[in-house]
Amino acid sequence: MSETRPMQIRVENADDPAVAEFRDIRERDLVGRTGRFIAEGTVVLNMLAAAHGQENGFRAEKILVLENRLAGIADTLNRFPEDVPVYTASAAVIDAIAGFHLHRGVLALGRKPEPRPLDEALTRLPERALVTVLSGISNHDNAGAIFRNSAAFGASLIILDETSCDPLYRKAIRVSVGSVLTVPFHRGGSIDEILMKLDRAGFAVWGLSPAGQHPLRDLPASNRTALLLGTEGQGLPSDLMARINTARIAQMPGLDSLNVATAAALSLHEMAHRMGLLSE
Amino acid sequence: MSETRPMQIRVENADDPAVAEFRDIRERDLVGRTGRFIAEGTVVLNMLAAAHGQENGFRAEKILVLENRLAGIADTLNRFPEDVPVYTASAAVIDAIAGFHLHRGVLALGRKPEPRPLDEALTRLPERALVTVLSGISNHDNAGAIFRNSAAFGASLIILDETSCDPLYRKAIRVSVGSVLTVPFHRGGSIDEILMKLDRAGFAVWGLSPAGQHPLRDLPASNRTALLLGTEGQGLPSDLMARINTARIAQMPGLDSLNVATAAALSLHEMAHRMGLLSE
């Protein structure tokens, strides 16, 4: 280990400023102020390591590992560039740093790439593309689950408007099983601006809502489809609904609407089939 | 209020034995030992109230309400029988009882009905029926979400084997948006025993797994279909998979399998359409 990872440093004290970014991470939102985020567990860390191969991709700044997990995750650690420092600590010290029992035993501090304009992201899309658009999604679990489902059904891009949460929040990354680090996304701008740009790029936009006009199963196949999901409580605002095509998912009457990430899964699955993105 | 709810009792002290069952409820599992459960919020309480109309249904034993919420939820409270005591308390007392900040402001202590044999539940099913079967589902969020999705897509019964968790755990009820109290379920018995009884009752059983033999979209329509879901980590055991028909949900390669509640939503939605359970 010590040959491939010369930057291995033992932390004796939870107050060590070298690991300050890992302190009390449970509910802390690092990403909003600093552009940094916390990645947990080997699955997500492998995805973060892979991002180093991309131009202007995510980068790891430092890693914190439970000392008795070091040997077990050597393969993961070796995927990172050698200049990324790996801090090691005992279970007691690491739990004192994180503020809870860290049974996964490994954390990384990541850095977001420089944001690029939405137009650029749209230009890079393939001719046949499925895009997920989120407006007012503020729950991190839902955001993470939507990323996971978008990855599963082949979405090429996820666009979050300015009223949606940052998917690089720790819990969203965890729930996404790391797909926040693999599916390209753009966050920012008003929903009107986003829809205008999608239209200009040749996308058919469908808003999902229990009050949608067309049954999901009747949606026309299209080479470029964008599925728009609104916040679970309020759904898409009615003035927006009036201006776009809308679809509904059939369900039994008299019940609450589906969870927004579940609705995303159903509609992405349906469209991915129509568009031939899935192999069967 | 005082005319319709004569059993309204003010609690001054968090240690009052009358509200002992509501104490420190966050992670407590009441249902395993006592057959009692905690229902939160007006949506779920309305469902609990409605259950009083059923023979051998769920029953409320007592209700605890934040005093300044009393007027706002009078309609919900009035749906309960008059002999169900309603305890009221200040925010400080109620938070001290529950062990966390109870922003919903209303809790009920419910009681399970007497368990009945699975055969009886199967006998009561309509000729055309969709059934959800869970084996080894131990995560309460997943169990609750599976109930919510089963309700949305018209499942008539949910069967949980002896290795699955009790869906009357507080968090599962909350995530299910109360459908644990409305969709009939049976819990207990080995999965082999359950599958034998389903077979005898004329059900086509399909196990869902990323390694399933048939694409979900090719499943034959049938008047009686049971969808079997295994635990998220391990999935269905291979010896069980070898003995039953299995289906897979197409997704992009190289990723983790879908969340089990999401897989349930996709397969229930598909089968509900095939079986004509949904209106479109």
Pairwise CA distance, residues A269 & A156, whole Å: 14
The answer to whether B142 contacts chain A (CB < 8 Å) is: no
Whole-number pLDDT of residue A6: 59
pLDDT of residue A83: 92
- CB spacing of A262 vs B258 below 8 angstroms: no
pLDDT at B1 over 50: no
**A255 vs B151, B261, B279: nearest CB:** B151
In chain B, residues with a C-beta closer than 8 Å to the C-beta of A252 are 151-154, 277-278
CB-CB under 8 Å, A269 with B249: yes
Does the CB of A213 have a partner CB in chain B at under 8 Å? no
Per-residue pLDDT, A4: 52
Nearest CA to B84 among B9, B170, B25, B181? B9
Q: For a pLDDT cut of 70, what percent of chain B falls above it?
A: 97
The verdict on a CB contact (< 8 Å) between B217 and A280 is yes
Q: Tell me the nearest-neighbour CA distance from B154 into chain A, angstroms.
A: 6
Q: DSSP H helical segments within A114-177, as ranges? A: 118-123, 140-152, 170-175
A91 touching chain B per CB within 8 A: no
CATH 3.40.1280.10 holds for B118-274: yes
pLDDT, tens digit (0-9, with 9 covering 90-100), for B142-179: 999 999 999 999 999 999 999 999 999 989 999 999 99
Question: Closest partner residue to A153 among B149, B252, B273, by Cβ?
Answer: B252
Is A266's CB within 8 Å of B269's CB?
yes
Give the nearest partner residue to B153 out of A151, A251, A278, using CB atoms: A251
The reported pLDDT for the residue numbered A5 is 62
Question: Which tokens sit at A55?
Answer: 């131009």
Q: What's the pLDDT score for residue B159?
A: 98
How far is the C-alpha of B167 from the C-alpha of B144, rounded, in Å? 7
Q: Does B211 lie at the interface with A, CB-CB under 8 angstroms?
A: no
Q: With an 8 Å Cβ cutoff, is A148 touching chain B? A: yes
**Angle, alpha carbons B138-B143-B147 (nearest 5°):** 160
Does the structure show a pLDDT above 90 at B139? yes
Judged by a CB distance cut-off of 8 A, whether residue A256 touches chain B is: yes
Q: Tell me the mean pLDDT in the region B180-200.
A: 97
Of A251, A269, A280, nearest to B152 by CB-CB distance is: A251
Distance from CA of A134 to the nearest CA of B (A): 19
A24/A170 Cα distance (integer angstroms) = 12
Give the distance from CA A141 to its chain's centroid.
Answer: 10
Q: What percent of chain B has pLDDT over 90?
A: 78
Interface test with B, best of A252, A270, A277 (most B CBs within 10 A): A252
Q: Give CATH for domain B8-111.
A: 3.30.1330.30
B255: nearest CB among A152, A269, A280: A152
Instruction: Pick the residue from chain A with its C-alpha nearest to B210.
Output: A152
Instruction: Judge contact between B135 and B236, C-beta under 8 A.
Output: yes
- Nearest CB neighbour to B251, from listed A152, A249, A250: A152
Question: In angstroms, what separates the C-alpha of B206 from chain A's closest C-alpha?
Answer: 18
In the structure encoding, which two tokens stand for residue A181, read together?
């680090």
One-letter identity of residue A265: A
Two structure tokens written together for B280: 């479109």
- Cβ distance of A256 and B43 shorter than 8 Å: yes
Q: Is B270 exposed, middle or buried (0-12, 13-18, 19+ CB in 10 A)?
A: buried
Which residues are within 8 A (CB) of B140 and not within 5 positions of it... i.e. 6 or more apart?
A: B165, B167, B169, B171, B172, B175
Q: Are A205 and A195 in contact (CB under 8 A)?
A: yes
Q: Which two tokens stand for residue A15?
A: 């107050």
Task: Parse chain B into domains and list their residue ranges.
Answer: 8-111, 118-274
Measured N-to-C along each axis, helices A260-274 and B260-274 cross at an angle, to the nearest 10 degrees, of: 60
Q: What is the ipTM of this complex?
A: 0.91
Residue-level pLDDT, tens digit, chain A, 280 residues? 445 565 899 999 999 999 999 998 877 777 777 889 999 999 999 999 999 988 889 999 999 999 999 999 999 999 999 999 999 999 999 999 998 888 778 999 999 999 899 999 999 999 999 999 999 999 999 999 999 999 999 999 999 999 999 999 989 999 999 999 999 999 999 999 999 999 999 999 999 999 999 999 999 889 999 999 998 777 888 889 999 999 999 999 988 889 999 999 999 999 999 999 997 6
Contact status of B126 with chain A (Cβ, < 8 Å) = no
B245-262 residue pLDDT tens: 999 999 999 888 899 999
- Interface A-B: count of C-beta contacts within 8 A: 81
Cβ pair A255:B43 closer than 8 A? no
Q: Do A255 and B152 touch (CB under 8 A)?
A: yes
Q: What is the least distance, in Å, from the CA of A152 to any CA of chain B?
A: 5
Q: What is the mean pLDDT of residues B74-103?
A: 92
Residues 6+ apart with CB under 8 A from B137: B143, B146, B160, B164, B165, B229, B230, B231, B232, B260
